[in-house]
Amino acid sequence: MSSAEHSVFIRAIGVHAPDRKLTNAELSKMVDTSDEWIKTRSGISERRIAAANENPSDMGAKAAAVALGRAGLTAADIDLLIVATMTPDVPFPSTACLLQAKLGLRRDIPCFDISAACSGFVYALQVATDMMRSGRYRRALVIGAEKLSSVVDWTDRTTCVLFGDGAGAVVLETTPTPHVGILGNLLGADGNNAELLHCVAGGSAAPATPDSISAGKHFLRMNGKEVFRHAVRVMAESCERVLAQCNVTSDQVAWFIPHQANIRILEAVASQLNVGMERFPFNLDRYGNTSAASIPLALEEAWREGKIKHGDLVLIVAFGSGLTWGATLLRWHEPSR
Ligand code: ACO
């Protein structure tokens, strides 16, 4: 088999979530909201909040260390690092470079960030897979790490109840065995809807100034209703398209692992696909929306709890700011514990 035919599979997975839990009851004391409203509209009960000195590179390094430990690998075994984040530690250098140093990865490997918001992990997975299929890289670390608490306006009840912090990492590896691991994937974007979920200041177009900061322009702003509508449509379509690409029906998929944004979005996608919610494991009730970290956090939990088994077909699907979206179908290869 030529290198171009290599399969790429998840050899190990690890996660890290900050210790601090922020409950709906606590949020109700900060803004005009209630546990009942948040649970009914989003399904979220609590979320994790990183400490001031706990950044995406720190959380990502901890998640990666768990994954490497489970795989029985060391930093020297990694040939490629991609970090998906919409909340990088600093505008530059990349969080990947900061993580490379923290993990002690080799200096002869590419390390870079991907900016695709909540679709970031699915984007990074596809980019890593395609680079690995070239035969040039045997093992990659793909990490989703977010500190959304740093871009949330804690006085805006329409957004602050939804988001949380955390990180998840996978070690990808190539194998000459055909039809294992990542079977198919697709990505998409629609920049015409950029303003539905964005941050207007803090970049080069509008650098941070005392005025922009006091006007709260460096916080995340969202048109929740429109994002909701697009999310359901693109997630359901992405699932259908990747299934068609792989010649698989939704009945054959054991588990759907969607980006953990809102339980009502998940229910609507499941209903459009005609799939029962028992095949949509979720943890957004305990973590909220952790953007690029949400899929690895949900995937790791479903695997650790013994839901996902060797040989299962698993479909991961995401949408996010951009707008962006993506889906990946995997034949699960039992990762190292
Ligand atoms: N507590 C109490 N009331 C609230 C709150 C709150 N936290 N937030 C909004 N409300 C009020 C609104 O002000 C509104 O009041 P009004 O009728 O007097 O105007 C009412 O509740 C209803 O608000 P809606 O926005 O219509 O509520 P909706 O049912 O649409 O739910 C929500 C809002 C949860 C934001 C939903 O639209 C949603 O989940 N959208 C998708 C968001 C999402 O997934 N974003 C992540 C994208 S991924 C990424 O890239 C980061």
Q: What's the pLDDT score for residue 1?
A: 40
Active site residue 289: yes
Of 30, 158, 199, 265, the one to substitute when testing ligand 1's pocket (max ligand atoms within 8 A of C-beta) is 158
Residue 146 DSSP SS3: strand
- Cβ-contact 312, 332 below 8 angstroms: yes
Q: The tokens of 221 are what?
A: 């702003």
Active site residue 259: yes
pTM above 0.75, yes or no: yes
List the beta bridge partners of residue 166: 146
Q: What's the pLDDT score for residue 54?
A: 98
| CA 37 to ligand 1 center in whole angstroms | 10
C-alpha of 75 from chain center: 22
pLDDT digits (tens, 9 = 90+) for 174-203: 999 888 999 999 999 999 999 999 999 999
C-alpha of 219 from chain center: 20
Q: What is 3-178's CATH number? A: 3.40.47.10
Q: What is the distance between the alpha carbons of residues 9 and 334, in angstroms, rounded to a whole number?
A: 10
pLDDT digits (tens, 9 = 90+) for 293-320: 999 999 999 999 999 999 999 999 999 9
Q: Which CATH class is domain 182-331?
A: alpha beta
Residue 7 DSSP SS3: strand
Please name the residue ranges forming H helices in 163-223.
210-214
Query: Going by CA atoms, what residue is nearest to atom 9 of ligand 1?
Result: 158
Q: What letter does residue 216 receive in the DSSP assignment?
A: T
Question: CATH 3.40.47.10 occupies which residues in the chain?
Answer: 3-178, 182-331
pLDDT band at 334 (very low <50, low <70, confident <90, very high): confident
Q: Answer yes or no: is pLDDT of 5 > 90.
A: no
Residue environment code for 48-76, b if the CB has 16+ CB neighbours within 10 A, otherwise e: bbbeeebbbbbbbbbbbbbbbebbebebe
Q: What's the pLDDT score for residue 127?
A: 98
Query: Quick one: 180 exposed, middle or buried, by C-beta within 10 A (0-12, 13-18, 19+)?
Result: middle
pLDDT digits (tens, 9 = 90+) for 216-232: 999 999 999 999 999 99
Of 30, 41, 44, 190, the one to substitute when testing ligand 1's pocket (max ligand atoms within 8 A of C-beta) is 41
Q: What letter does residue 313 receive in the DSSP assignment?
A: E
